[in-house]
Amino acid sequence: MFYAETLDNQLRFGDVVKGFVLATSAIEKPIMFRHEQHNYKVDINLPNLCVILSPCCTISQKTKNDGIIAISPLISIRVNFFDNPYFKEDIMHINRTMEPEQTVAPDIWAQFSPEEQEKRKAEGISYALSELFVYQEHGYFPEYPLTNAKHESFQTRFFMIDFRNNFKVSCEVLKGGKEILSEAKLLQLSVDARNELRDKIADFYGRMPNEDKVLLVE
């Protein structure tokens, strides 16, 4: 079960919510001197649905807090996911670790050199698409079309979040443990699904570059 049957009267990590405004800044290059002319823009949008990425304890009604939460919009999945038979069998496999051969379509795996294949096998079980987490279809989600390279179309209600697409939102209602607006919370993850999300986002942010591994091992 991906979603909980009943909702808590508080925001939790992984919850699907609506009504939050997100802002994104875009710049040509870092602004080093404020007195110089700058080219930048700020996009404001109100996505249909978002996911709470703050840990439950930081936004609990039982504790004092500043009303700041991390949030990520739900976005459409990609049609090329279904080029991989393992994902086509169950798109939710993307949320879990898998064998190296399952992370890509067979034709792509066949293009890897024997050395590359052995390298990937040696790395063992891991996540594919490490920055993404797929949300199970639900009646709250709008249906939308996907069209593959063969011009075959089908409808889906699967959505996903991208851990890189993360926003800070300050919400007055959440300050000081006040009651949340219950109508803003639509779905709550089951304990197992929330743990899957926690494990994958922790792996994404906890990945260590090889140059650090060498120094730490020494």
- Whether the pLDDT of residue 15 is over 70: the answer is yes
- Whether the pLDDT of residue 31 is over 90: the answer is no
Confidence of residue 62 (pLDDT cuts 50, 70, 90): low
Minimum mean pLDDT range among 46-60, 116-130, 186-200? 46-60
Domain boundaries, the chain: 16-217
Residue 149: its pLDDT value, please?
82
Residue 107: partners with Cβ closer than 8 Å, 6 or more residues away: none
Confidence of residue 209 (pLDDT cuts 50, 70, 90): confident
Confidence of residue 56 (pLDDT cuts 50, 70, 90): confident
CA 158 to chain centre: 13
Residue 180: its pLDDT value, please?
59
Selected residue with higher pLDDT from 196 and 40: 196
Q: Are 107 and 115 in contact (CB under 8 A)?
A: no
